[in-house]
Amino acid sequence: MHDDIRIKKLTNGYSLYFRDPEIVKANETRDLSSKANKPYRNPEREMAFKDVKELTTFLSANLEKLCAAEDYETSFSKAVMESEDDD
C-alpha cells in the first residue's frame, strides 16, 4: 500500500501528489470475472496550491483521509470538492 504524499515547490505555488484512496479501494474490489467489470483507474492524483497557507489548510483537514485507505469512504472526494468550491 502506497499511502505517501509528495509536495513539490513550483515557481508559482506547490503541487501535492498522492494516491486517491477511493480509487485504490475501487480498483481492489473489481470483479475480474464479470463482463461488466469496471476498468482499472490510475489512483495517482495531483493538486495545485497557490501558497503555503492554502496547502497546509488542505493538509490539516485531509491528511488522515489521504493516509488511511481502510477507513476511507467518500469523505476525501467531498473534501476535494469543498476545496474547489472555496476558490
Q: What is the pLDDT of residues 39-53, one digit of tens each?
A: 899 999 999 999 999
For the chain, what is the domain count? 1
Taking only the tens place, the pLDDT of each residue in 52-63 is: 999 999 999 988
Would the pTM of this model clear 0.85, i.e. be above it? no
Q: Which domain holds residue 56?
A: 5-85
Cβ(23)–Cβ(14) below 8 Å? no
Amino acid identity, position 51:
D
